[in-house]
Structure 1
């Protein structure tokens, strides 16, 4: 280490440093010593070793002041006039040994006795006050975003805490987390266009999974009764404020339960995370205050359309009337949407979805748009399915799982027909899943929740990019690299 008494530089290569032993960090220092006065700290002579990145250096005659940032926060360094320290630059990573003190202005600091350069910053950092002029560039160089915008880094800390708490909550309920394949032979379990990859040694194509549903339900066939997985999902879809081609979901399955049970489980989980983990009852989301303490509203899809759009689909019993209603409202329908169920969903998405601000369960989906869900016993055209909407955005999807292999085969055949009509998001005809169902799967309830959107809600973010460490971006038109 360079001492303040030894002004001669050691000329060590900083990139050869392998270790620096720390005794504390910025947050621990603030928590333990903020309450003491300048005189009390001078009497204590508390010595600490800390490390971090220099973000600001200020010269005041015989004193230098610098801001040292670590993962926990920022602490000020106080340095007597020192040539070697003055040669350090913004962005350099250093290790420091010094005494905890307070300046004459009352700022908690570490008075540096020794320091060592651990890594040299060879490029200029963005201005800590003005940040990035280009938002796209901020996401492209996310590591710099985290360096100069501590609140962005805090989002990922909340993400970690939420996921950790979900696991703990499910563990208490005796669920088992099981990892399922990412490379799959069939892209099934959801309606989405998959990514395709090729395995050279096996001489075959694979899909990146679009859902974890099918393998988790195979586990139910295998005798597991309460399973879940938190994992990465890949869908070859557009990129916008609410969608990223790779994202994280949790899927939960419990045998001998149904959609109503999973709806109750969903609400219980949201209440738990709000009250016990984040300790807040209301969140600002999409410019609206959202309350997660009150009971969530529950509304059938056709009732929601009647309430928000003034259209009563209980009085529309044939396809011709439904098509006329769509035409009257200038609702554009693709070829595969020429069914009553598809038209009902189209009206819901156009006129209702964005208006569901407070937590609302929409249930009783048309069976045509719910190929993996059981029909309700009293009406085979209605799926025993629900989705949770908050701030105009879908957060959860659940249903009573279809376990009839004959009916599931018919549903897959209908999906194949829709694909032929141009629906690119139709899942594969999964013969292996049909075979698994033929061995018998218990009745079960299933639930899927988008983790990224959940973090958007809890951190008040309007873009999914903010809650993913390294979101996918469109490529630059021209890429140039400077290796000088």
Structure 2
């Protein structure tokens, strides 16, 4: 039966489940003396990441105009870290354009936290504590990005030629569509259609050691002869739950990555995004050695309630908002 347009899509059990989940999260961090913070939902900058499309806001105040709804509280939280906040977490609403489906809504709830003195391995342990404590599930095992693609897609992401990679992707796109797609775009396609749906089926799995070209804001190092990122994602029943980094603290490298991002955006026909100079200044002033992670709270609740449609855990998804 079709619901009247005014009705929420989440049932009362989901609303109560969300309240319990928030109480659990806040209790988890209170026990560990991690400070809860708030940062702007409306900021002066969007993000340069090729795979994220920020939503612009038409704001005019005190001679300044523009603004962006934030895709993540990351930049602002790192400014707090540079100012000496110590370990922090935040529950926030974030926004990404062009995302709506059974796992996506343009507005969604994110839990993000940062741990000075942690590396990616230490943070994975804490992610497992939080997630497995809430879901009452087995602790995750680890699988490298390379091993996942070799095992599940018979593709070595570091050895396969660009030509062979595009030929493999012709299973989903025709050659004309693939002509301007870069190597990482092709790998993302294989990840989406072949690898991700099979991750975390027997037990939760952390995917680690991404190619350096997919480092985003993570630091990199040599791993088995290849440059890889200190980045991880957690998968449960084929659902990506979080994305974490041992954070990059090199100001010059961060600025360079923003420039590379904008070059890739222009190649893809997307507008270049202004660099967030306040964020870069915070990195230059001294972002502490830390690890951070962003976790989708709506997806975590989906797993808890056993649903595969995000609308069932949202009061009002975009089409009803």
What TM-score, normalized by structure 1, do the two folds share? 0.61
1:157-191 deviation line (CA, Å, top 9, x unaligned): 01100111111111110100110011111113864
Match of 2:235 among 389, 407, 419: 389
Please say if residues 305 and 348 of structure 1, whose CA atoms lie closer than 8 Å, have aligned partners that are also in contact: yes
1:90-134 deviation line (CA, Å, top 9, x unaligned): xxxxxxxxxxxxxxxxxxxxxxxxxxxxxxxxxxxxxxxxxxx22
Please say if residues 48 and 261 of structure 2, whose CA atoms lie closer than 8 Å, have aligned partners that are also in contact: no
Give the distance between the partners of 1:377 and 1:216, measured in 2 at CA.
28
Give the distance between the partners of 2:226 and 2:7, measured in 1 at CA.
49
Match of 1:464 among 286, 310, 316: 310
The answer to whether structure 1 residue 200 and structure 2 residue 40 are counterparts is no
**Residue 206 of structure 1: CA displacement?**
0.7
* 2:45 alignment counterpart: 186
Aligned-CA RMSD value? 2.3
* 1:27 alignment counterpart: none
Gap change, CA 1:343 and 1:329, over 3 Å in 2:
closer
Gap change, CA 1:244 and 1:419, over 3 Å in 2:
same
Of Structure 1 and Structure 2, the greater helix share is in: 2
Gap change, CA 1:439 and 1:392, over 3 Å in 2:
same
Matches within 5 A, 1:432-471: 432-471=278-317
Q: What SS does the corresponding residue of 1:192 show, helix, strand or coil?
A: coil
* 1:370 alignment counterpart: 215
Please say if residues 403 and 440 of structure 1, whose CA atoms lie closer than 8 Å, have aligned partners that are also in contact: yes
Count of aligned positions: 312
Q: Can you give the 5+ residue segments of structure 1 that lack an aligned partner in the other structure? A: 1-132, 147-151, 276-291, 476-484
1:121-159 deviation line (CA, Å, top 9, x unaligned): xxxxxxxxxxxx22xx34x3225x77xxxxx10111011
Larger relative contact order (CA 8 Å, sep ≥ 6): 2
Please say if residues 336 and 418 of structure 1, whose CA atoms lie closer than 8 Å, have aligned partners that are also in contact: no
* 1:174 alignment counterpart: 33
Q: What SS does the corresponding residue of 1:142 show, helix, strand or coil?
A: coil
Of Structure 1 and Structure 2, the greater strand share is in: 1
The answer to whether structure 1 residue 154 and structure 2 residue 13 are counterparts is yes
1:397-424 deviation line (CA, Å, top 9, x unaligned): 1011011000001100100101101264
What TM-score, normalized by structure 2, do the two folds share? 0.90
Q: What SS does the corresponding residue of 1:254 show, helix, strand or coil?
A: strand
Give the distance between the partners of 2:179 and 2:262, measured in 1 at CA.
13
Q: Can you give the 5+ residue segments of structure 2 that lack an aligned partner in the other structure? A: none
